[in-house]
Structure 1
């Protein structure tokens, strides 16, 4: 039997659809019951008998730090996909991020060890991979993490979570780690998901930034995770990036598919530097949530390019183009919002 944590998130919901379509026996963890409707909605995108497929999932209410509930969820489990995570770049969320991403992953790993799980797949992020000093140099799985850099709180905790997974491999749990880029997919149009980018671009954005990053769609991510778990590959990590794109190019492609005007002005370094300081000040004086941290301001003007050759060679896979992915996600966005 398979256990999926974070089953109500973007990756988790699409992975669940993949698993039930493959006739796998699946149990999934959720934290709040109202989030289950998101999974049903995702299933409804892809087939008419979505309720029948959804009902094949055995749901368990559990928190990553509720060990007794997790022990119940692990009963009779052979394989684990650990997709649950907290995504935030707000510095004041650091301890909450640690609690969920690091301590929660440690609990999952401990239960994998004690239950002699056959294989674990952990969904990490390109945020947990180091950076090259030359922005034109490809970042690979071997690019070293530098703890002395001004890393975001999210990146720090995802890297810490990976360390827990590697600890588990030393204690007898075979594992694979995937490091997706910015994951494009439908059904989650608010919050920390990339779907929020489609919503913001559709509403109209004034500025674009000078940075770049790697992108991949959620269907490729879930498909590759499934193939890795079915393979003999263990104790490896893989960058999952279809294409590297500038933020400007991404905004223009999305704007075109949504039939809106793209941002025309590049945001200057001065505006960003002033912006994150004002954001910090308003959070201190008015108690507002952080929207632009120092690390995020740096990230959106940093050019990074990622190498996807390791995963392509490992399981002989090809990624869908980002153009097609954007068109597909935009189609679902317009259906959901019109």
Structure 2
């Protein structure tokens, strides 16, 4: 017949085993959650590829991940040709596309490249010289686009209706921005590093401010009339804003207040929630292990106490 102490010990062990089972389920759930999150918010990296073979390289890199779950794509090398761009048409939920370490055949991003996609941040190939018509039109979530230092031409309606696009920077190489290229965007500030490019009608929203360098030329041309042009001063800070409503007839110049420039970098901290779950599971497992150790120690003490009592009875 079991002693009272052993009965209590058995009850404690049963409780501990129940806790272990529950903790095991929690740990499994947490780990499964980590893998599920990785599958749903997937980042795909293509190291390099042969021209014309990007589709194969992409599918090899993504493995079992559903194409609709790819949230970020990074390409570290290779040269795109026209047929390679077909892959991008199917990336309906991809938010980040960085292909700046690759090149593109003839330096041209094709017409309709990412038109209507849900992309938010794009870095274009390093040798890009021209962006085709409608390349990003209707990308309402697009917030940032990084041009190559070789860019010269932006096609018709290339960024039309990109409502989330607030700021854009052009290198000094830009020479042509076609009509309606940025119509319907949310552009507030447009920065040019060189002289004025040729611009088509309605290239930018009329309420956007055009920022130019102190030595820039060509921005007094008729095609720039109606835009607020802010020229930097000798110290690199804004000096004056000029808006020409009727070319050659009415020019208004005002002194702009100097304002500090704030650069904000937002980076999503991935895996924070799932890390917390796994950490909690590890803590629980540690507590359970301590409980088992305590139970074993108490079991040994109970055995010793029982033997001592038996000897005393004898």
Whether TM exceeds 0.5 here: the answer is no
Range into which the TM-score falls when normalised by the shorter chain = under 0.3
Q: TM-score if structure 1 supplies the norm length?
A: 0.24
Greater helix content: 1
Q: TM-score if structure 2 supplies the norm length?
A: 0.26
